[in-house]
Chains A and B, each alone.
Chain A
Amino acid sequence: MFYAGDAVPGNGVSPQNDVLKTDKKEDTLKERPSRKNKKKEKETIEKPSVKSKSEKKPLVLPVEASFFALFLTVLLGGFYVVHSVWAAAEAYSAPSIVLTSHSHDGLHVFDDFREAYAWLSHNTEVDDKVASWWDYGYQTTAMANRTVIVDNNTWNNTHIATVGTAMSSPEKAAWEIFNSLDVKYVLVVFGGLVGYPSDDINKFLWMVRIGGGVFPHIKEPDYLRDGQYRIDSQATPTMLNSLMYKLSYFRFVETDGGKGYDRVRRTEIGKKHFKLTHFEEVFTTHHWMVRIYKLKPQKNRIRGKTKKSKSKTSFTTTPRSGTTKKNPWH
C-alpha cells in the first residue's frame, strides 16, 4: 500500500492556511483513496462475511412450533364459524311470530299466532271481517286471508280511533260500533297466561289516547288510577268494564284455580267473574295468546222497556248507572 507521508514540508509559510488546507485536502484526498481502499476492503470483507452469516441464518421458527401454531389458527377459525352460526341462530333469527322458550325438557314452541290465523282462514266465511288492533292487520290479511278494519298502514287515524274507542268502551257500545262496521270477529292478543309482554292490554293506553283524540267521550283519566293504567283491584270501573279487559280476561280466573294471576302485569286481576253479553268466544289458541270472539246477532224480541229514541239495539243490559255516555254514532 502506498501511503504518502503525513506532513509535507510546506512550501512557504505565507500561504499557510492554503498549505494547511491543501495539506488537509491532500490528507483527505490521500485518506480518501486509502479510506476508499479500506472501505473497499471492509466492504469486500464484510460482504462475504455477511453472505456467510445470511447463509448460516436458521429458519424463523422450528417445524413443530409452526405446525402447532397453524393448528391453533385453524382451531380458532373453526370456533369462529361455530360461534357465528350459534349467534345467528340464537340472537338474529327471531321471526317474532313463532316464539320459543327453553325449558328443562327442550325447546317449547309458541305457534299461537299462526294457529289463530289458520283457524280464521279455514273456519270463517270468506267475507267475514275481523277487527283487531292495527298491529296485526297485515298478518291477518296475509295469513288468515280475511278483511281487517285497520292494519299496519295506519293512514286513517279516525278509523284507528274508532277501533280504539270500541276497545275502550263497555260491551254494548263496542258492539254497536263494531256492528256498524259490519265486523263479525274481534281478535285480541293476550299474554297474561304465558308472560308474553307485547299484548293488547299493554297497548291499551294507546287505544284510549288515540280514541280519545277523536272521540271526546273517551277520557283518559277515567282509566287511570294515580296516573297509572291498572287492571287489578285498584283499577277504575271504566277500565274494568272496557271491552278489552273483558275480552282478554274472560274466564281467565278459572285457569289457575280462582286467583287470576296475570304474569305480565304481575298482579291478580280486578274483576274475576263476569259474563259476556254481546260477544261469544269462538276460538282461543293453545297458550291463550290469541283470543277470537264473535259478535252475537241481535235478538228478535225486545225485552223490557223499549227505547224509543235509540231503536237500534234490543239487548237486555244491566241498568245504566251514572251519566249516559254519548254514543258517537248518533
Chain B
Amino acid sequence: MSRFRFDLLLLLVLSLQLSPALSDLIISKLDRRIDLTSQIVRVTMTLKVENTGHDPVSEVSFTFPEHQANNLALLLAVSTEGKGKNRGAATNLPIGVKQPNDSPPSLVWYAASLPKELGKGESLNMDVLAVFTHSLRPFPEKITQAEPQLLLFQDSAHFTSPYNVKVQSLTVKLPSGNVESYTKLEKTKFSGSEIKYGPFENLPALSYSPVIIHFPSNKPFAIAKELVREIEISHWGNVQVTEHYSIIHGGAQSTGEFSRLDFQARPEVRGASAFRHLIAMLPPRAHSIYYRDAIGNISTSNIHSDSSKTLVEIEPRYPMFGGWKTSFTIGYGLPLHDYLFQSGGNRFLNITFGSPLFDVLVENLTLKVVLPEGSKDIYSSVPFPVKESQETKFSHLDIAGRPTIVIEKVNVVPEHNQYFQVHYKFSNISLLTEPLMLIFGFFALFVACIIYMHADLTISKSSSSYLAKLQWDEVQGTIQQLQDIINRCLLIHDKLEASLRELSRTGDVQACKAVRKSADSLLKDLSKELKPLLALLQSSPQAAHILPKVEDLVMKERDLQEKILLKHTTVVDSYERKSMSRDAENRVAAIQQKISALKQEVDDLLDFVEDI
C-alpha cells in the first residue's frame, strides 16, 4: 500500500508540472473494461481523441506506472475512421516506447503513431488492448486443499492518461458473481459479475484513484516457466514441431497436505483451484502427436480432430495444485505445403509464434526454427519485438550443420499467437545433396569391395609358402583334368558295353564294329592327353603324397580298358563266326569278373581323388 501512496503523491505532483508540456489533445470519451476472468488481465479501452490545439498531432501517448509497465505483455492500438455505421477499416498503429526527458522513471510512456496527422479540431476513435501478466496476486498466499483461491487486483479507477479526460468509466469483469471486497468510490455499482466505476467527468491528466478488488477465482493458473519450441523443416514434406514445457501452478500455494480421497470425492469443493486438463489447439492435419515426459509416455490424453483444428486435451500425471510443478513434451508433425511458400529460390515459412495451449502464460519462450542444410540469407519477421540470434544444429547426414534461428521472448500471452515468417533461400538442386551423398556412399563401398576382390594383396611373390600354394593349385588343376579324362574313358567303356547289348539284341555286327572303331580312336586320344598330365604330376613335389594312388588309378583304368576291349573283340568274333565256343564263353566270363572287380577299384580311387 505504501508504494501506491508514493506513486499517487508523485503523480499528483507531476500532473501539475507536466500538463503544460503536452500537446493539446484531450480524450473526450473513454470506456475502460478490465477482464479478470483468467490469470491474464486484459484491459480494453475505447477512446475518442480530440485535437483542441492549433498544431496537428501525429502520435497519441499512453502512460503506465512502472510496476504495471513491467507486467505489460502486449499493447495494441487500433484506430477506426468514421463513426457508427460508417466505421472504416481498422488500422493497427505502431507503438513505441517513448520516454520524454523530463518524465520520472516510475512512469513509462508509449506512443502510438497515427497514420495521418490529426488536424485542428479533428477527433479520432481508437481501441486499445493492454495485456498484463502477474497482476493478480493470490491473497492469502497459502491455502489448504479445501479453501478457495482468492486473488487481489489493484489498479486505478481513473485512467492515468497524459491528457485531460472529459468522460470516463471503468467496468471490471469478475470470473464469478462473488467478490470478497472492493473499493467503493462515490459512483460504484456491483451487479452480476461486474463492478462499474464511474462515469467520472473532467478529470485532469495523470489522475489516479486506487482501487483494490479481492475476489475468488478458480480458473486454472497454468504458467509455463519455460517453453522451448523447436520447429524443424524438412523439404521432403514435413514440419516437425517439438515443445518442451515446464509448467507451474502460479496461484495460491498449497500448504502441503493433499488428500486424494477428498479430491476424488468432491473435486469442486476440495481442490477447486487445481486444474487437471490442459487443452491445446493444434492446426488441422497435425499427425503423429505424442505426449511424453522424462520418464516415459503419458497415456492420459485425448485428441479430437476436424477439418479446421486438432484439439488435444492433455492431462498431466497428477492434478496441479498451487505451487506444484510438472514438465512434459508435446510433439507433432504438420504437412509442409500448409506452411512453406516459395517464389523462385526464395522461400518463407509462415507459422504461429506462441504456444498452442489455451490460456497459458509463458514466462520464457525460446523458439528455434531449424532450416535444412544449405539455406542462406535467413531473416525473420515477427510482428512484435523479440530477441533473435542464430546457431547451428547438427543432425543426421549433416556436414556443415543446419542453420537455426533462435527467437526469445519473455512474458508471452495467447494474444501473441500470431503468424510470423522466416525467409531463406534454398535452391532446388541442393535438395539432392542428401540422396546423392547416400548413393555415393554405397557406391564407394561396393567399388571398394570389387577392388579388394580383384587386387593382389600378397606381400611377396617369391616366398616359399606362396610358391608352394601356387604349385598346389597347379596340382589340383591337373588332377581335375585327369579325373575328367578318366571319366570320359569310363563313358566310352559304357558305350562299348551298350554296343554289346545292342549286338545281342539285334545281331548287328557292323554297327558294333563301328562303335568299336570310334571308341578305339577316342581312347587313343585320351591316353595321349593323359601322358603330359602324369608327367606334370610326377615332376611336382607337392603331389608326392598322392602320386602313387594316381598312378595306381591310371594303371587300373588301363587294365580295365584292355579287358573290356578284349571282351568286346571276343564277343564280336564269336558273333561273326555265328557260334559261341565254350572256350570263348569261358574267357568272356573270366574277363567279366575281372572287369567288375577293376571297375569297383577304379570307382573307389576316383572317389579318393575327388576328395583331394
Interfacial chain A residues near B258, Cβ < 8 Å: 281-284
Q: Which of B259, B296, B298, B318 contacts A281 (CB 8 A)?
A: B259
Q: How far is the CB of A193 from chain B (nearest CB, A)?
A: 10
Determine if A40 is an interface residue (Cβ-Cβ < 8 Å): yes
* Chain B residue with Cβ nearest A255: B261
Taking the nearest CB of chain A, how far is it from the CB of B245, in angstroms? 12
B260 A288 Cβ-Cβ under 8 A: yes
Using Cβ atoms and an 8 Å threshold, which residues of chain B touch A44? 501-502, 504-505
Chain A residue at minimum C-beta to C-beta distance from B256: A282
Q: Are A2 and B257 in contact (CB under 8 A)?
A: no
Complex: how many Å from CA A111 to CA B585? Answer: 99
- Contact (Cβ within 8 A) B259 A29: no
Taking a contact as CB atoms under 8 Å apart, the answer to whether B259 and A284 are in contact is yes
- The reply to whether B501 and A43 contact each other, CB–CB distance below 8 Å, is yes
A111 to B294, CA, bound (A): 14
Cβ-based interface call for A221 (8 A): no
Task: Name B273-300 residues within 8 Å CB distance of A.
Answer: 293-296, 298-300
- Selected from B260, B295, B299, the residue in CB contact (under 8 A) with A118 is B295
A111–B326 Cα distance when bound, in Å, is 16
Chain A positions 117 through 132: 1 when the CB is less than 8 Å from some CB of chain B, otherwise 0: 1110111000000000
Task: Give the distance in Å from the alpha carbon of A33 to the alpha carbon of B258 in the complex.
Answer: 114
B299: chain A residues at CB < 8 Å are 109, 111
Instruction: Give residues 218-271 of B contacting A (CB, 8 Å).
Output: 256-261, 265
Q: A118 near B326 (CB under 8 angstroms)?
A: yes
Cβ of A285 and Cβ of B318 under 8 Å apart? yes
For the complex, give the distance between the alpha carbons of A143 and B295 in Å: 6
Expressed in whole angstroms, the minimum distance between the Cβ of A140 and any Cβ of chain B is 12
* A123:B504 contact, CB within 8 angstroms: no
A37 CA / B323 CA spacing, docked (Å):
113
Nearest residue, chain A, Cβ from B585: A33
Residues from chain B with a CB closer than 8 A to the CB of A111 are 298-300, 317
With A26-B582, A32-B589 known as contacts, the answer to whether A283 contacts B318 (CB < 8 A) is yes
Interface code A299-319, partner B: CB below 8 Å = 1, 0 otherwise?
Answer: 000000000000000000000
A37-B504, A40-B504, A285-B318 given as contacts; is B582 within 8 A of A114 (CB)? Answer: no
> Are A122 and B582 touching (Cβ within 8 A)?
no
Is the beta-carbon distance between A251 and B261 smaller than 8 angstroms?
Answer: yes
Q: Does B185 contact A (CB under 8 A)?
A: no
Would you give the shortest CB distance from B283 to chain A, in whole angstroms? 28
Whether a CB of chain A sits under 8 angstroms from the CB of B139 is no
A side interface size, CB within 8 A = 35
- State whether A119 touches B317 (Cβ < 8 A): yes
CB distance from B88 to the nearest CB of A (A): 52
- List B78-111 residues whose CB lies under 8 Å from chain A: none
Q: Does B586 contact A (CB under 8 A)?
A: yes
CA separation between A40 and B295, bound complex, in Å?
A: 87
Main secondary structure of the interface of A (DSSP, over half): helix
Q: Which residues from A are CB-within-8-Å of B259?
A: 251, 281, 284
Closest residue of A by beta carbon distance from B502: A44
| B579 on interface, CB distance cutoff 8 Å | yes
Contact status of A29 and B326, CB under 8 A, knowing A41-B505, A44-B501, A285-B318: no
A2 with B579, Cβ < 8 A, contacts A119-B317, A281-B257 known: yes
Please, which residue of chain B has its CB at the minimum distance from the CB of A113? Answer: B295
Is A114's CB under 8 angstroms from B295's CB? Answer: yes
**Residues of B284-336 whose CB lies within 8 A of A:** 293-296, 298-300, 317-318, 323-327
Partner of B318, one of A30, A98, A115: A115
Q: Tell me the smallest distance from the CB of B501 to a CB of chain A, in Å.
A: 5
A118 x B318 contact (CB < 8 A): yes
Tally of B interface residues using CB under 8 Å: 32
B325 near A114: Cβ-Cβ < 8 Å: no
Pick from B256, B294, B300, B504 the residue with the most CB of A within 10 Å: B504
For A32, A109, A118, A251, which residue has the most chain B Cβ atoms within 10 angstroms? A118
Interface core residue of A30, A119, A123 (most chain B CB under 10 Å): A123
Write out the residue numbers on chain B whose beta carbons fall within 8 Å of the beta carbon of A32: 585, 589
Additional A-B contact list (8), CB under 8 Å, known A111-B298, A115-B317, A122-B327: A41-B504, A44-B505, A117-B295, A118-B326, A122-B324, A122-B326, A282-B257, A283-B258
B501 with A2: CB separation less than 8 A: no
Q: Cα distance A109–B501 when bound, in Å?
A: 86
A114–B296 CB distance below 8 A? yes
CB distance from B404 to the nearest CB of A (A): 29
Task: Please give, as numbers and ranges, the residues of chain A lying within 8 Å of B318 by CB-CB distance.
Answer: 115, 118-119, 283, 285-286
> Would you list which residues of chain A between 93 and 109 have a CB under 8 Å from chain B?
98, 109
- In angstroms, Cα B585 to Cα A152, docked, is 96
Q: Which A-chain residue is minimally distant from B501 (CB atoms)? A: A40
How far apart are the CA atoms of A37 and B586 in the complex, in Å? 15
Q: CA A40 – CA B318 in complex, angstroms?
A: 97
CA distance A37 to B500 in the complex (A): 11
* Residue from the list A29, A115, A117, A284 in contact with B586, Cβ < 8 A: A29
- Cβ of B410 within 8 Å of any chain A Cβ, yes or no, is no
A182: B residues at CB distance < 8 A: none
Task: Known contacts A115-B317, A118-B318, A281-B257; decide if A40 and B293 are in contact (CB<8 Å).
Answer: no
Give the residues in chain A near B597, CB-CB below 8 Å: none
A172 at the interface (CB under 8 A from B): no
B580 interface residue (CB < 8 Å to A): yes
The CA of A288 and the CA of B298, in the complex, are separated in Å by 18
Closest to A114 in B: B295
A-B contact pairs, 17 of them (CB 8 A): A2-B580, A29-B589, A30-B585, A40-B504, A111-B298, A114-B295, A115-B317, A117-B295, A118-B318, A119-B324, A123-B325, A280-B257, A281-B259, A282-B257, A283-B260, A285-B260, A286-B260
| Contact B260 A123, beta carbon cutoff 8 Å | no
Which of A114, A251, A288, A294 is B256 in contact with, Cβ under 8 Å? A294
The interface residues of chain A lying within 8 Å CB-to-CB of B293 are: 118
Q: Is the CB of B257 within 8 A of A118?
A: no
Query: How many angstroms between the C-alpha atoms of A280 and B256 in the bound complex?
Result: 9
Task: Name the distance in Å between B158's Cβ and chain A's nearest Cβ.
Answer: 43
Contacts of B326 in A (CB 8 A): 118, 122
CA distance A118 to B226 in the complex (A): 18
A32-65 with Cβ < 8 A to chain B: 32-33, 37, 40-41, 43-44
| Residues of B with C-beta under 8 A to A115 | 317-318
Within 8 A of A (CB), among B588-603: 588-589
Find chain A residues with CB under 8 A from B589 CB: 29, 32
